[in-house]
Structures are given as structure tokens and as C-alpha cells.
Amino acid sequence: MRLWANNLINVPNITHLQLLSLYFNIYQFFLIHLPYGPPDVDFFN
């Protein structure tokens, strides 16, 4: 896991769009897998 994290940090060509996509995928994952649903926060306003 440490090796994976170090490799992820050292990737030079990652873009802001890829980071945004990664965060959105993680957010979607938690929306699907958390039993209580999403918190009532509007991120897009």
C-alpha cells in the first residue's frame, strides 16, 4: 500500500481534470456504499 501511494504521488503527468475525476469517483463510491446516503451539502453552488 505504501508503494502504491508513493507511485501515485510521483506520477508527473497527472492533470487537474484527472484529479477532479478521481475525487468525483471517490465521492460517487461513498454515495453508493454509505448506508445513510449523502450529506445534505450542495457542492455545486
∠43-30-15 over CA atoms, to 5°? 65
Grouping H, G, I as helix, E, B as strand and the rest as coil, residue 43 is: coil
Tell me the average pLDDT across 29-39: 69
Q: Which residue has the higher pLDDT, 4 or 18?
A: 18
Distance from the first to the final alpha carbon of the chain? 35
CA 23 – CA 26 distance, rounded (Å): 5
How far apart, in Å, are the Cα atoms of 8 and each of 26, 39, 43, 45? 15, 29, 26, 30
pLDDT > 70: percent of the chain:
42
pLDDT of residue 30: 79
**pLDDT of 11 above 80:** no
pLDDT of residue 20: 82
CA 35 – CA 29 distance, rounded (Å): 12
Q: Which residue has the higher pLDDT, 44 or 33?
A: 33
pLDDT of residue 38: 59
